[in-house]
Structure 1
Amino acid sequence: MPTRILPAVGDADAVRSLTTLLSQLPDAEPVAPVTDSTQLVDTLARLAAESVDELPEVVVVHERIGPVPALELIREVALRFPAVGVILVTSDAGPALFQAAMDHGARGLVALPPQYEELASRVHAVAQWSVGVRRHLGSGGEVSTGTGGTVVTVSGAKGGVGTTVTAVQLALAAQASGRPTALLDLDLQTGDVAAYLDVQFRRSVLDLASITDISPRVLADAVFRHDSGLALLLAPAEGERGEDVTDRAARQIVGALRSRYEVVVVDCGAQLGGAGAAAVEMADRALLVTTPDVVAVRGAKRVVRMWDRLQIRKAQETTVVVNRHTRSTEIQPPLIGRITGTAVAATTVPAHFKELQGAVDAGRLHELDARGTVKQALWGLAAELGLVNAPEGERRAGGRFRGDRGAVSLRRRRGGTA
């Protein structure tokens, strides 16, 4: 099905150049452009009155659209037409404007003059997101597990294996590469995402647990925007209240996040409850973190078998991540794969706890030294999982996204504990 793209551009020359470029994109169907903010909102309102399916999947807003400022226009479109993905094209593609655009509801940002590859990538991602939202809206509130943002769950083989550190760094890597990312803490009794990122926020996942139709505005009220750009949906401050987040509530919450963000990372902790099970079942990628020791690997095997018995997830659909890896340990990743019957990530995380200790103790895990092997490995894991746009990620993170080649070099190093 062609992707319908509505350009909103006030300048005649910019209209011609942008429309020409959009028409060259694969499976793209540019519609007649609008030349000001009023015309854009009126056009979308007229189409929405007929049916959500009549709306374009993507609206491309030029920074000088007028008379309403572009960011305010994006906010209005995002609130009134949540099934439409908005891309801002701007001459200022810096991190400050990027974060402001995301805060106002944009789904992507493209620098002027637009380049074919960047525009094609943004349009494709936003169109997929839009299709996912429409499936959600068209199913009577039931959550779609199909097209939309990518959901990755991170679970622990047992407590203390590095589940939260892994989840946080995967989410930071995705966000740094330019993909709007949410981090959901579903370790409902003992979640530590807030502590690791130095966050004090009174709202949590509990605020959404009893809501059957989570609108973009309601979701935005419950989410905390971190300095890193991450959208955080935190675990309850009172662990005993975690029981109020049922499996049905978790499906609604994960579905709402999937419809709003390109990447959703879920920290499920090491204890399996209904909410965590629902998230793992819905996930595009389910990660299971273990350390290369007998107790943890036994725990990983136990978790995998339990997921299979409960029909949550098959072993071959689970990826094990090996943390605190050294070449000298007797239990190496291939053996862990054979024991658990799962795939094992090519990227292993080296055992260097000293690199982590200062950042963890200070609650500043987002300031982990980019030169350290632990952060390089975890961001390399994000690249392996397809959570980052590698070329853009290399530009934003100083070349730290190294993918599989970086993982190979890291596996050759030795260290302490992570």
Structure 2
Amino acid sequence: MTTRILPAVGDPDAARSIAGLLGQLPDAEPATAVGDSTSLLDLLSRLAGESLDELPEVVLVHERIGPVPALELIREVALRFPAVGVVLVTSDASPGLYSAAMDSGARGLVGLPLSYEVLAQRVQAAAGWSAGVRRHLGHGPDTLTGPGGTVVTVTGAKGGVGATVTAVQLALAAVASGHRTALVDLDLQSGDIASYLDVQFRRSIVDLAAIRDITPRILQDALFSHESGLALLLAPAEGERGEDVDDRVVRMVVSALRQRYEIVVVDCGTQMTTANAAAIETADSTLLVTTPDVVTVRAAKRMVRLWDRLQIRKAEETVTVVNRHTRSTEIQPSLIEKITATRMAKVSVPANFKELQPVVDAGRMHDLEARSAVKQALWGLAGELGLVKDAATGGAHRAEGRHSRFRQDRGSFGIGMIGLRPGRGR
């Protein structure tokens, strides 16, 4: 059986050395190396979106890959593509690193300088493991064979613009259309989703902060099953505990949720932290909610520029939603689009707080009447984003080619940001 091997190597000299040895392996079909973690995850997503069989059996991850560190990248690949055997290539073959690599999901470790015999042995073992997993995939409810669900983040340009209402209604629209949907409150200090949905809870995202490997059972224990059908992952009741949630935790949590839910909506609040920055960067769609007034539009412009400077999200990849819109206001969506340089949602949410006040005060946002103009607009926005089945025109991760693309296709955007520092990202 032919073993397809995809090296992820950032160093050109190391890439040539690895390619030379891989070319000597019997029954091996090595692909051209990808140079960074973003390209690797993007390529695997497209291949998995086409078919499980399109994925390579083995991925080699070099220790100097970036911008995501090697162990975090291995964990991401193992969570999102469980049928791929990952092997770490490193100059540090110590027991400590070996244990950390295994904990991250690697199927083997090859020391530098490379040895043909060791490389062949590790690749063969990883390929055998991959073949065994593929024979059994799909037999359990907790395993997906594709790249996972669609992640949408919602951020407010400033406080009080309606980001949480938007996130809640988008998630309710998705679950009402038949999608398995999770709603995450990543406004870690002052999240209000529990109040909007009348939830009394004990577990929150903080309970996942110390977990190294989020299994389906651990994830399920942290989620709250809401009467609407939503799975809720809530912010901690004690805001100071939110400091325990960093970008590593968020990447791990989002990856785990992708594998269990078709739609994942994340309320990122209005404050930028490494945690919600990681969610925004890894999302398939990013919404920025603003109101049509000078102060808020200026705040929206600052937020977009911040994301661009920190290489989190480009302006043209951001969708701006205008809340509390009236035709009489001087600031219309076309002007906001010009000022922020973002893409404007076709749907604007009308100003009608009287419709919302009773359900907000009662903590029953899920009971908002269907005839509500606000609800109709937000559910229309869900349709525009492809979050409801009757409006979706295709999967969020539709593949663009078949097996030949495994050898040829590279690039686009994906995971890149590690911390809130310029120069690290896409």
* TM-score for the superposition, normalised by structure 2: 0.61
- Residue 390 of structure 1 deviates from its aligned partner by 1.6
Letter in 2 for 1:198: D
- Residue 375 of structure 1 deviates from its aligned partner by 0.4
Contact 1:48 1:55 survives alignment (8 Å): no
Unaligned runs of 5+ in 2: 1-49, 54-127, 393-426
Check 1:214–1:3 CA distance in 2 against 1; reply closer, same or farther (3 A cut): closer
Letter in 1 for 2:157: A
Which residue does 1:361 correspond to in 2?
A: 361
SS in 1 for 2:375: helix
| Aligned positions of 1:84-233 closer than 5 A | 129-132=144-147, 148-233=148-233
- Residue 337 of structure 1 deviates from its aligned partner by 0.5
- Distance in 2, matches of 1:366 and 1:176, equals 11
- Distance in 1, matches of 2:51 and 2:256, equals 25
> CA RMSD of the aligned region, Å?
1.7
Letter in 1 for 2:262: E
Deviations 1:120-164 (A, max 9, x none): xxxxxxxxx4222xxxxxxxxxxxxxxx10000000000000000
Unaligned runs of 5+ in 1: 5-46, 60-76, 84-128, 133-147, 393-418
2:136 is the alignment partner of 1:55: yes
Deviations 1:63-112 (A, max 9, x none): xxxxxxxxxxxxxx33xxx33xxxxxxxxxxxxxxxxxxxxxxxxxxxxx
| Aligned positions of 1:235-250 closer than 5 A | 235-250=235-250
- Residue 211 of structure 1 deviates from its aligned partner by 1.0
SS in 1 for 2:146: helix
- Distance in 1, matches of 2:366 and 2:315, equals 32
Contact 1:304 1:340 survives alignment (8 Å): yes
Deviations 1:188-231 (A, max 9, x none): 00000000000001000001111121000000000000000000
Check 1:2–1:287 CA distance in 2 against 1; reply closer, same or farther (3 A cut): closer
- Distance in 1, matches of 2:280 and 2:130, equals 37
- Distance in 2, matches of 1:154 and 1:307, equals 14
Which residue does 2:58 correspond to in 1?
A: none
| Aligned positions of 1:277-316 closer than 5 A | 277-316=277-316
SS in 1 for 2:184: strand
SS in 1 for 2:339: helix
- Residue 55 of structure 1 deviates from its aligned partner by 3.0
- Residue 391 of structure 1 deviates from its aligned partner by 7.0
Number of aligned residue pairs: give it.
269
- Distance in 2, matches of 1:251 and 1:386, equals 23
- Distance in 2, matches of 1:310 and 1:283, equals 16
Could you say which structure has the greater relative contact order, defined with CA pairs below 8 angstroms and 6 or more residues apart?
Answer: 2
- Residue 52 of structure 1 deviates from its aligned partner by 1.6
SS in 1 for 2:259: helix
- Distance in 2, matches of 1:242 and 1:151, equals 21
Which residue does 1:323 correspond to in 2?
A: 323
- Distance in 2, matches of 1:370 and 1:130, equals 36
Letter in 1 for 2:375: K
* TM-score for the superposition, normalised by structure 1: 0.62
Contact 2:51 2:146 survives alignment (8 Å): no
- Distance in 2, matches of 1:183 and 1:390, equals 20
- Distance in 1, matches of 2:52 and 2:236, equals 40
Deviations 1:280-320 (A, max 9, x none): 00000000000000011000000000000000000000000
